[in-house]
């Protein structure tokens, strides 16, 4: 079993839809969590950190469930520009960043 | 603010040749990471440094790969000799490890093609 798992998708949603992604991690000692976004042929870019109490940044909401060992990302009112691959990232210890395989999102007009 | 700078952006070489990828991390960041990304295997950590010291190189595929960080502002990843299966995008990333919950910042990547 991989340490960080995501549904690869693709998720094809119409503009304006709400879409949610989950990411599960296997190591209960994981300390910090992030969502990154990667556009085709570009580098991954930080979308948001994930805090224990959950956090929101505009149309994006991130949640952490330590008991079930998953994090989620909710995108409301999706835009065409949200089309990308979303990568879940977990820090195990120190600076050991572990990336999930990514979930591909296509927002359709 | 300059981000992580990688060079070259693209590299096309023949099998057996030596390839050197370069990276300048964000000033003040004390952790540096080399990743490789392919369609088949996704993003794989090759090696990371903390305060210029290699901490974990378990992801380096084999002896053909080597990485150095002679100072806080420069790192190289060398492949010698290169093989077609090394074709991938290689990303360098840096982080301010001294701050808890500090994220990674990636460079634009080097797209390597070995023929």
A3 pLDDT higher than 90 = no
Q: How far apart are CA B64 and CA B67, in angstroms?
A: 10
A6 pLDDT higher than 80 = yes
Predicted local distance difference test score (pLDDT) of residue B41: 86
Which chain B residues have a beta carbon less than 8 Å from that of A34? Answer: 103
**B interface mutation test: which of A40, A97, A98 has the most B CBs within 10 A?**
A97
Of the candidates B79, B77, B74, the one whose C-alpha atom is nearest the C-alpha of residue B63 is B79
- pLDDT class for B42, splitting at 50, 70, 90? confident
A107 pLDDT higher than 90 = yes
For residue A44, give the nearest of B31, B95, B106 by CB distance.
B106
Q: What are the Cα distances from residue A92, in Å, to A14, A19, A25, A36?
A: 36, 27, 10, 17
- pLDDT class for A27, splitting at 50, 70, 90? confident
pLDDT tens by residue, B43-95: 999 999 999 999 989 899 889 999 999 999 999 999 999 999 999 999 999 99
pLDDT tens by residue, A53-97: 889 999 999 999 999 999 999 999 999 999 999 999 998 766 678
Strands A32-38 and B10-13: unpaired
Predicted local distance difference test score (pLDDT) of residue A104: 96
For residue B104, give the nearest of A42, A97, A102 by CB distance.
A97
Which chain A residues have a beta carbon less than 8 Å from that of B103? Answer: 34, 46, 49, 89
- pLDDT class for A52, splitting at 50, 70, 90? confident
Return the bridge partners of B58, or none: none
Q: Six-digit token pair at B99?
A: 């701050």
**CB contact (8 A) between residue B108 and residue A42:** yes
DSSP annotation of B103: P
Where would I find the beta strands (DSSP E) of B1-115? Answer: 5-7, 10-13, 19-24, 31-38, 42-50, 53-56, 65-71, 74-79, 88-95, 105-106, 110-114
Q: Does A4 touch chain B (CB under 8 A)?
A: no
**CB contact (8 A) between residue B103 and residue A94:** no
- pLDDT class for A102, splitting at 50, 70, 90? very high
């Amino acid at each position: 079993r991989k340490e960080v798992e995501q549904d690869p998708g693709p998720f094809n949603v119409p503009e304006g839809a709400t879409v949610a992604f989950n990411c599960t991690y296997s190591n209960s000692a994981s300390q910090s969590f992030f969502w990154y976004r990667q556009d085709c042929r570009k580098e991954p870019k930080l979308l948001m950190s994930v805090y224990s109490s959950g956090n929101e940044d505009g149309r994006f909401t991130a949640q952490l469930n330590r008991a079930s060992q998953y994090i989620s990302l909710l995108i409301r009112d999706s835009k065409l520009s949200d089309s990308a691959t979303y990568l879940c990232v977990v820090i195990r210890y120190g600076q050991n960043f572990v990336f999930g395989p990514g979930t591909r999102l296509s927002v359709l007009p | 603010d300059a981000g992580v700078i990688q060079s070259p952006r693209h590299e096309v070489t023949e099998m057996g040749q030596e390839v050197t990828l370069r990276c300048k991390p964000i000033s003040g960041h004390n952790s540096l990471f080399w990743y490789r990304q392919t369609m088949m295997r996704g993003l794989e950590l090759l090696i990371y440094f903390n305060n210029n010291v290699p901490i974990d190189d378990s992801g380096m595929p084999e002896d053909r790969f080597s990485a150095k960080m002679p100072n806080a502002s420069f790192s190289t990843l060398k492949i010698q000799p290169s093989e077609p299966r090394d074709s991938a995008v290689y990303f360098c990333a840096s982080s301010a490890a001294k701050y808890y919950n500090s994220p990674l910042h990636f460079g634009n990547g080097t797209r390597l093609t070995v023929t």
